[in-house]
A and B are shown apart, each in its own frame.
Chain A
Amino acid sequence: MTKARTRRERKAQRAAVEVPALGPVGMLRWAWRQLTKMSTALVLLLLLAIAAVPGSLFPQRVQDPDAVADYIKANPVMGPWLDRVQLFDVFSSYWFSAIYLLLFISLVGCVIPRAFQHFKAWRSKPPRTPRRISRLPQYRKVMLGGREGAAAPTPDDAVEAAAAALKKRGYRVQVQDLGTGAPSVAAERGMLKEVGNILFHVALLGVLISVAAGSLFGYKGQKVIVEGESFVNTLVDYDSFNPGTNFNADWLNPFSISLKSFEATFNRDTSDPEHYGQPTDFNADLTVTDAPGATPQDVHLAVNKPLNVGGTKVYLVGNGYAPVIRVKDGDGHVAYEGPVVTVPSDSVYTSSLTLKVPDARPDQLGFVGLLLPTAVSQDGSIPKSVDPGLNNPALILSSYSGDLGLDSGQPQNVYVLDTKGLKELNAMSSSNGPVLLDGQHRKVDLPDGKGSIEFLDVKRYVGLDVHSDPGRIPAFVSFLVAFAGLVMSLFIARRRAWVRATETEDANGVRCTVLEYGLLARGEDHRLGAEAEKLTALWTSLWEDRGVREFHLKPSDKA
Chain B
Amino acid sequence: MGSDINVTLGNWSEWFMLLAAMTYMVVFVAFVWDMASHSKTLGLNEQAREKRRTEAEANSRQLVGAGAAASSVAHGAAGSSGAVSRGADDAVAAEFRTSAENSTKGVGEFEALNYKRGSRRPAARVAVTLMVIAFALHVFAVVSRGVAADRVPWANMYEFCSTGAMVVAGVYLVTLIFKDLRFVGPMVSGLVLIMLCLATIVFRTPVSPLQPALQSYWLIIHVSIAVAASGIFTITFAMAVLQLLQARREKRLAAGETSRMGFLRAVPSSVTLENFAFRLNSVGFVFWTFTLAAGAIWADQAWGRFWGWDTKEVWTFVVWTVYAAYMHARVTRGWNGNRSAWLSIAGYMCVVFNFTVVNTLFPGLHSYSGL
Contact = CB atoms under 8 A, between A and B. Distances in A.
A472 B282 contact: no
A490 B289 CA distance: 13
Interface string B348-371: 001000000010001010000110
A492 B262 CA distance: 38
A304 B99 contact: no
A43 to B, nearest CB: 8
Given A39-B332, A508-B93, A552-B86, A303 B110 contact: no
Contacts of A46: 321-322, 325
B221 interface: no
Contacts of A482: 289
Nearest to A282: B212
A507 B334 contact: no
Contacts of B209: 267, 269, 275, 278, 280
Given A46-B325, A272-B208, A529-B108, 12 more contacts: A49-B350, A271-B5, A278-B211, A304-B213, A306-B304, A508-B93, A527-B108, A530-B108, A532-B108, A537-B101, A544-B99, A551-B92
B306 to A, nearest CB: 7
B108 A4 contact: no
Contacts of B350: 49
Contacts of B289: 482-483, 486
Contacts of B324: 45
B304 A45 contact: no
B358 A56 contact: yes
A496 B38 CA distance: 40
B333 interface: yes
Interface of B: 3, 5, 7, 86, 89-90, 92-93, 95-99, 101-102, 104, 106-111, 206, 208-213, 215-216, 218, 247, 275-276, 278-279, 282, 285-286, 289-290, 293, 296-298, 300-311, 314-315, 317-318, 321-322, 324-325, 328-338, 350, 358, 362, 364, 369-370
Contacts of A279: 211-212
Q: Indicate the member of B99, B285, B300, B362 with the most A CB atoms within 10 Å.
A: B300
A1 B293 contact: no
A216 B99 CA distance: 64
A52 B303 CA distance: 22
A45 B278 CA distance: 18
B95 A52 contact: no
Contacts of B298: 304
Interface in A452-492: 465, 467, 469, 472, 475-476, 479, 482-483, 486-487, 490-491
B114 to A, nearest CB: 12
Closest 10 CB pairs of A and B: A529-B108, A530-B108, A537-B102, A49-B321, A315-B304, A45-B325, A533-B104, A56-B314, A1-B337, A38-B332
Nearest to B338: A1
Contacts of A547: 96
Contacts of B330: 524
Given A147-B96, A269-B3, A280-B212, A63 B109 contact: no
B270 to A, nearest CB: 9
Contacts of B108: 138, 527-533
Main secondary structure, interface of B, reads helix
B302 to A, nearest CB: 5
Interface of A: 1, 4-5, 7-8, 38-39, 41-42, 45-46, 48-49, 52-53, 55-56, 60, 62-63, 90-91, 138, 142, 147, 211, 220, 267, 269, 271-272, 274-275, 278-282, 302-306, 313, 315, 317, 465, 467, 469, 472, 475-476, 479, 482-483, 486-487, 490-491, 506-508, 523-524, 526-534, 536-537, 540-541, 544, 547-552
A302 B108 CA distance: 54
Nearest to B320: A49
Given A267-B209, A269-B5, A490-B286, A540 B101 contact: yes
Nearest to A46: B325
A540 B97 contact: yes
B329 A271 contact: no
Contact of B104 (A472, A491, A537): A537
Nearest to B301: A304
B102 A267 contact: no
21 contacts: A8-B333, A39-B334, A39-B335, A42-B335, A49-B317, A56-B362, A142-B97, A272-B5, A274-B206, A303-B213, A304-B215, A304-B302, A472-B300, A479-B296, A530-B107, A533-B108, A540-B99, A541-B102, A544-B97, A549-B92, A552-B92
